[in-house]
Amino acid sequence: MTFFKPFLNMKVVIIGPAYPLRGGLATYNERLARAFQEAGDEVRIVTFSLQYPNFLFPGQTQFSTEPGPSDIAIEVSLNSVNPLSWLAVGRRLRRERPDVVIFRFWLPFMGAALGTVARLVRGNGHTRVVAITDNVIPHEKRPGDGPLTRYFLSACDGFVTMSRSVLEDLQRLGFGHKPALYRPHPLYDNFGPIKPKEAALAALGLPAGAGYALFFGFIRAYKGLDMLLEAWADARVAALPIKLVIAGEFYEDAAPYEALIKQYRLEDRIVRATDFIPNERVVDYFCAADLVLQPYKNATQSGVSQIAYHFERPMLVTDVGGLAELIPAGVVGYVVSPTPKAIADAVVDFYANQREEVFALGVREQKKQFSWPVMVAALKEVAKLPGH
């Protein structure tokens, strides 16, 4: 095999969600494409004409209603459930001979499509295949996860992970012999500049007299909103002049959460924004918040942390998966055990002892290490290392 050339002006293809699809993966892949362009490389994204069949998609819609990016080449051509599409995309990329193809892998369901494309592309003897592996052991397990994941991983030349726990999972699954690097999730710096809190509150129609803590993102069982609601029922939290903002679309039945809100009489102490949050509104939710809460029951990494870093907001995360790797406890916020009491203890400490200003200063210093050029360099480094 002709190994990857370690210089600029490479031809790069990113395969994964992008416009017209919406969500954090699409946002990430588009920002990564810009980072490669800034490094002098030629890049385009190949995204899905069909990402999930509707019966597998838990949200309201898979598609964005916002204008698409004008500065990135995006090809909509891969159908996750149509093998003819996999063959067409793989054979075309094999002929085109890009220097590196970067796959975004986050769900075993995608293993058949992405693994087939990867095998076809590598057949040209030139292109290196690298995967950004969000997860290799999924949060929510389904039959067939193991074979589908191994089918994809075995087709890759190397990996970049955004948490050390995923790096360890790769080794446990038998892929420790392949080149792999850990690099933290870069900043989500594409949601605009920091806005004054008063302006953000006004944009959301929220009165300035209360404090606001933010739970942000798609709502799924592993993200622990139920634990957070139980923490909000703590008498000490209830005595504080604060509200919980729940900003994100339900990706499962909302009824159990509504039952908790009713059971604990939280209606007047929460703010619901449980539709999909468009990109242009993200700034308002984060800049209106005093504290960003991630009460997850399990996790690898979270893009929410990197949005909070960008907007210089203190954070609370639970000590699961790779979340704590990016959140120095006592510097930018709290790392707590995944229990309602531990979450409540931290919330009370934050507001009772007025920690916002000192933690925000810590966030401002820590955010300097999370750059997109570092991620681009890691992908190039893995790509140029020969496999074994």
Token pair for 158: 């190397």
Q: What's residue 4's pLDDT?
A: 44
Contacts of 172 (CB under 8 A, 6+ apart): none
User: Is the separation of the CB atoms in 305 and 320 below 8 Å?
Assistant: no
Region 140-157: mean pLDDT is 90
* Model confidence pLDDT, tens digit, residues 182-199: 999 899 888 999 999 999
What b-and-e string marks burial along 247-270, b requiring 16 or more CB atoms within 10 Å of the CB? bbbbbeeeeebeebbeeeebeebe
Region 357-383: mean pLDDT is 94
- Using pLDDT thresholds of 50, 70 and 90, give the confidence band for residue 52: confident
Contacts of 200-209 with CB under 8 Å at 24 or more apart are 200/283, 200/284, 200/285, 200/286, 200/287, 200/288, 201/288, 203/281, 203/284, 203/288, 204/273, 204/284, 204/285, 204/288, 206/245, 206/271, 206/288, 209/241
From the CB of residue 226, how many other CB atoms can be counted at a distance below 10 Å?
A: 17
Q: What's residue 384's pLDDT?
A: 85
**What domains sit in the chain, N to C, each tagged with a CATH number?**
11-186+371-384 (3.40.50.2000), 197-369 (3.40.50.2000)
8 or 277: whose pLDDT is higher? Answer: 277
Percentage above 70 pLDDT, the chain: 93
* Model confidence pLDDT, tens digit, residues 54-68: 655 555 666 777 788
Region 314-340: mean pLDDT is 93
* Model confidence pLDDT, tens digit, residues 218-229: 898 989 999 999
| Secondary-structure percent of the chain, ordered helix, strand, coil, rounded to 5 | 40, 20, 40
pLDDT at 272 exceeding the cut of 60? yes
What b-and-e string marks burial along 114-136, b requiring 16 or more CB atoms within 10 Å of the CB? bbbbbbbbbebebbbbbbbbbbb
Q: What's residue 252's pLDDT?
A: 86
- Using pLDDT thresholds of 50, 70 and 90, give the confidence band for residue 322: confident
